[in-house]
Chain A
Amino acid sequence: MKSEKKKSKIASTGKDRVFYIVCGLIMVVLTLMVLYPVIYVISASFSNADRIVAGKVWLWPVDINLDAYKLLFSYDQLWTGYANTIFYTVTGTLINLGVTLICAYPMARKNLMGRGPLMMFFSFTMLFSGGMIPNYILVKSLGMLNTRWAMLLPGAMSIYNMIVARTFIQSNIPDEMLEAAQIDGCNDFQFFFRMVLPLSKAIIAVLALWYGVSHWNSYFNAFLYLKDRELYPLQIFLKDILVQSESITVSEDDYTSVGMLSEHISVAIRYCMIVVSTVPLFCVYPFVSKHFQKGVMVGSVKG
């Protein structure tokens, strides 16, 4: 802090002022470049569909109305997708955390017999894999094709995240603590549940965020393994409508009450879909972004 103050006193010569302005400009330009599309999408979603297509929306909503949202909300598949995604995210993340932590804790114990070979066993899978087709055959032969299991089990543990958790446990839970607990008659099960888990809250939070976001965002497994529309997560619907431009079908009475589902309104609905599917992220993100960044640093420390 002290040096910071000193710095600001010494600096601020004319040349430096130019430099600071340039730095500030770089940051402002890059920030605006990120922010502009985001704001535009949100604005468009609240705007009159004809105005969007006619290019009247540039930054703020024009002719604010919620027609497109109303139409979108009457689209049953959206709710099915939303419910499925929430299910996959919550269940999937819990499975991920469980498997990752029960793997990370023993691997963090330096005196574990066979630790080196086990580590090689796990980390080799980061370098080499069977690939798309063998995975597909496996999922098929396990009878998981077109079931919810196909969304939960194949990615039950990320080795990278396991190593991050292991490194965290290694550097945050000292050996002396284990020794002291052992003298008091604590076994490894008790130590794990009573000491390791409570002391690893920080890393558990980071892992939960990482896993949670990846479940929320993933479409690949669903795309390969699911056929039944009832099982589809949100991202698959988004893919069909946003990317493949599949038309949206709504029930009859909604159709007539808002008018024909023109090309214009379906453009507006696409903007709404982007907002609706990303809104949970936007709500949570400002509060957790710090943890994400911390997690990156934990991950980059090797043990």
Chain B
Amino acid sequence: MKAVRKATIKHAFKRDWRLYVFLIIPVVYTLVFKYIPMGGLVIAFEEYKVRKGIWGSDWVGFENFLKFFESYQFGRVVKNTIILSLYNILAGFPVPIIFALAVNSIRNEKFKKFTTTVVNLPHFISTVVIVGIVFMLFNSRTGIYGNLGYLLTGDFPTDLFASPSSFRHMYVWSGVWQNFGWNSIIYTAALSSVDPTYHEAAQIDGATRFQRILHVDLPSIVPTIITMLILRMGTVMTLGFEKIYLMQNSLNLSASQVISTYVYEVGLSASGSGDFSYATAIGMFNNLIELILVVVVNKISKKVSDTSLW
């Protein structure tokens, strides 16, 4: 048995060795840049000292994790992460669907093409520029927001970027602005594959176009909607660092400090303590929860709608 297997391996390798040559670089890359950092997570269980290195530093077990759970920041950053992320998911959800349904009902192809091209555009604008535009336009003195406020009330409005509650709205709705067009593509595609005979049958039965949306279009994309919603829920603990960090300032920190930015602040920022081990432990806690969420959510999605990421 073993000999046979060995022979087939040898045979396969002899036949396909060139394919394995192709794979050398990708595998080495993945090992070095993806798996070694995972190994680097051991410093979460140490009191890492740069001079002593990863293997020479003292082990402290779960001390760093406990320190995080007991710190007053724990409740705050976890709460902020979940609130911001849930708000983001829920607010970002309906607009692409409504847009896709509208696009699908319109028959003027040129108009359709123009609008979809325009609304997809912001997806490709960089985070820095998006945040820059938001800062400029909503500046309470020099921006449209400030000037409009002045025009209407005779006084400059309050600074939106100084208040924690408006931070959430600015973050979420600038994201909706940037991505609703792009996120609608998947629904547009699902709608275009609806069998036209359903529509014809409904028309013969005297359904109006709006009734056809409710009873033909919408039901046919419900599986896509459910799948997307479930899968997005799996990313509730995943909040990118880039945009939040840019929109963060000392005045809105009570709403804008999330796990990823806190990791940066503790570990790498000039004002932080440079505590690599503590920062890694916080990051690892987040990654583990993300992993569990994604796996669980996939299981649910598979059961409910027969689709999953893998």
- B117 A99 Cβ-Cβ under 8 A: no
Q: Is the interface of A mostly helix, strand, loop or mixed?
A: helix
Whether B276 and A271, one on each chain, are in contact in the complex, defined by CB atoms closer than 8 angstroms, is no
Question: Which of the 9-residue segments A68-76, A103-111, A198-206, A253-261 touches chain B?
Answer: A103-111
Interface size bracket, B side: 35 or more
Give a binary string over B174-190; 1 marks a CB under 8 Å from any A CB, 0 the rest.
Answer: 00010011100110010
Interfacial chain A residues near B237, Cβ < 8 Å: none
Query: B25 near A242 (CB under 8 angstroms)?
Result: no
Determine the residue in chain B with the shortest Cβ distance to A104. B26
Q: Cα distance A24–B101 when bound, in Å?
A: 11
Q: Please give the distance in Å from B122's CB to the nearest CB on chain A.
A: 6
Q: Which residue of A lies closest to B35 (CB)?
A: A125
B250 at the interface (CB under 8 A from A): no
A180 within 8 A of B: no
Would A35 and B132 count as touching, CB distance under 8 A? Answer: no
Instruction: Please determine whether A132 and B127 come into contact, CB atoms closer than 8 angstroms.
Output: no
Does B209 have its Cβ within 8 Å of any Cβ on chain A?
A: yes
Given contacts A16-B209, A19-B208, A109-B19, contact A138 B40 (CB under 8 A): yes
- Answer whether residue B310 sits at the interface, using C-beta atoms and an 8 A cutoff: yes
Total A-B residue contacts, Cβ distance less than 8 Å: 271
B contact face: mostly helix, strand, loop, or mixed: helix
Segment at the A interface, from B72-80, B84-92, B140-148, B162-170: B140-148
Min CB–CB distance A102 → chain B (angstroms):
4
On chain A, the residues within 8 Å of B148 by CB distance are 55
CB contact list, A75-131 vs B, under 8 A: 99, 102-103, 105-106, 109, 111-113, 118, 121-123, 125, 127-131
Q: Let me know if B98 and A99 touch, CB within 8 A.
A: no
A213 contacts B33, CB within 8 Å? Answer: no
Contacts of A30 in B (CB 8 A): 95, 99, 115, 119, 180
B:18-50 near A, CB below 8 Å: 18-20, 22-23, 25-27, 29-30, 32-41, 43
A161 to chain B, nearest CB (A): 12
B294 within 8 A of A: yes
Contact yes or no, B102 A27, CB < 8 A: yes
CA distance A134 to B177 in the complex (A): 34
What separation, in Å, do the CA atoms of A125 and B209 have in the docked complex?
A: 46
Contact B209 A278 (CB under 8 A): no
| A129 in contact with B106 given A34-B181, A40-B144, A109-B16 (CB within 8 Å) | no
Q: Which of B98, B129, B185, B208 contacts A16 (CB 8 A)?
A: B208
Across chains A and B, which 6 residue pairs bring their CB atoms closest together, nearest first? Answer: A130-B37, A55-B147, A134-B40, A242-B132, A217-B126, A103-B26
**Can you identify 7 A-B contacts, CB atoms within 8 angstroms?**
A10-B203, A131-B283, A137-B43, A138-B40, A224-B268, A235-B128, A297-B185
Given contacts A38-B121, A138-B37, list 5 more A-B pairs with CB under 8 A: A28-B115, A128-B291, A132-B279, A235-B128, A238-B126
